Amino acid sequence: MNTPYAYNAWYPLAWARDIGRTLATRRVLEEDLVVFRTEGGKVAALEDVCPHRLAPLSLGTLRGDAVECGYHGLAFDCTGKCISAPGMARAPTGAQVRSYPTAESMGMVWVWMGDADKADPGQVFRLPEYDDPNYSVVEGDALPVRANYLSLADNLCDPTHVVYVHKTTLASAGREETRVMHERQGNKVITWRWVIDGPLIPVFQGLKDFGGANVDRWHYYHYHAPCIAVIDFGSARTGTGAPEGNREDCIQMFACHFITPIDQHSCMQHWLCLKNSPADPEVDARLLSSLRLAFNEDKQVLEAIQRNEDKPREWKRINLALDASSIKMRRIVEEMAGSAT
């Protein structure tokens, strides 16, 4: 069964570092886009098709701030308007391709896939800690996942899978029954759990010296529908008051996941990490390696699930108590998709 798309929303398009003065292609919500930077540095995104013979514009050439079709040379400006055509004194009337509003935030280019009049750049997601000098940024990857984007969203609303999937990176043994809490706030779902008086998880090793003492560990999963997940997780020495709000002497990280729905069977997971410690090449490289391992563990499970979902057979999912956040998240996406119709 197809999952819904909420078109009136900002979606991650690409890492800003990957878009320059050459034509690039991206697919979002089953729509193909050609993307480039103008001479002034702004990102332009156009429908990747020439209205003449339907050749992809991405096969053409960037000339100044216009895309020249590689089939018959029609040129389109950043608004999608045809500004010239070979052998014609004027560009053909009605030769227009769709343009998409874009914005940049947190090292990402974002694109608005719905009604352009409703696109507000001020609503593009930005985590306050991204601009906080007490935190350093570890920019990650664009991980292709051959699974529906809401399957990845399920994963990012679910702390309970960590003890089974991420045993060598994000979990400690013996905490399978730790209580999980959840609530909805508007178009956001928050899911959280605390692990009290336990060992430091592997990914935190070497980031802070707790003298071998046990820690109190928190995981807060903030899912902003339809495509953003921020996981606030950290540790403080047991008994220092972290559950009550005292986190002055702690490790804290924000794992940010920006999901691009490509189609019903695939998505792109852009991720980065913020940590409350200075940038350090050796530490950051080790952290990147651990997080890549963890997110590839998720990828392996989610792609196997998608293969089962694609099989032509009758089946019905069952829900457990631990699915409450995922159910809330999917309901929000359905509401957002329905409000645009």
- pLDDT digits 0-9 by tens, 15-38: 999 999 999 999 999 999 999 999
Within 13 A of 121's CA, how many CA atoms are on the CB side? Answer: 7
How many angstroms separate the CA atoms of 10 and 28, rounded?
11
What integer pLDDT is reported at residue 168 of this predicted model?
63
- Three-class SS of residue 242? helix
Answer yes or no: are the C-beta atoms of 269 and 295 closer than 8 Å. Answer: yes
> Apex CA 148: angle with CA 139 and CA 108, to 5°?
25
Mean pLDDT of 112-140: 96
Rg (CA), the chain: 22
Three-state SS string across 29-68, please?
CCEEEEEEECCCCCEEEEECCCCCCCCCHHHCEEECCEEE
How much of the chain is in helix, strand and coil states, percent to nearest 5?
Answer: 25, 35, 40
The architecture (CATH level 2) of 10-121 comes to: 3-layer Sandwich (2.102)
First to last CA, the chain: 19
Q: Taking every pair of C-alpha atoms in the chain, what is the biggest distance, in angstroms? A: 79
CATH fold of 129-311+321-339: Naphthalene 1,2-dioxygenase Alpha Subunit; Chain A, domain 1 (3.90.380)
How many angstroms separate the CA atoms of 150 and 7, rounded?
15
Mean pLDDT of 234-245: 93
Answer yes or no: are the C-beta atoms of 272 and 283 closer than 8 Å. Answer: no
pLDDT in tens, 135-164: 999 999 999 999 999 999 999 988 877 776
Q: Percent of the chain, pLDDT > 90?
A: 74
Instruction: Tell me 292's DSSP state.
Output: H
What integer pLDDT is reported at residue 341 of this predicted model?
45
Mean pLDDT of 260-285: 95
Instruction: Give the list of residues 6+ apart from residue 129 with CB closer than 8 angstroms, or none.
Output: 135, 254, 274
Encoded amino acid at 5, one letter: Y
Predicted TM-score of the model (pTM): 0.92
pLDDT at 224 over 70: yes
pLDDT at 340 over 60: no
Answer yes or no: are the C-beta atoms of 107 and 139 closer than 8 Å. Answer: yes
Mean pLDDT of 95-106: 97
User: What distances in angstroms separate CA 21 from CA 39, 40, 81, 246, 263, one per listed residue?
Assistant: 8, 10, 19, 48, 27
pLDDT at 125 over 90: yes
* Average pLDDT value for the chain: 91
pLDDT in tens, 160-212: 777 767 666 665 554 455 688 999 999 999 999 999 998 888 888 878 888 88
320 vs 328: which has the higher pLDDT: 328
Other CB atoms within a 10 A radius of the CB of residue 243 amount to 13
Residue 161 has φ and ψ, to the nearest 5°, of -75, -15
Domain residue limits, the chain: 10-121, 129-311+321-339
How many angstroms separate the CA atoms of 12 and 72, rounded?
32
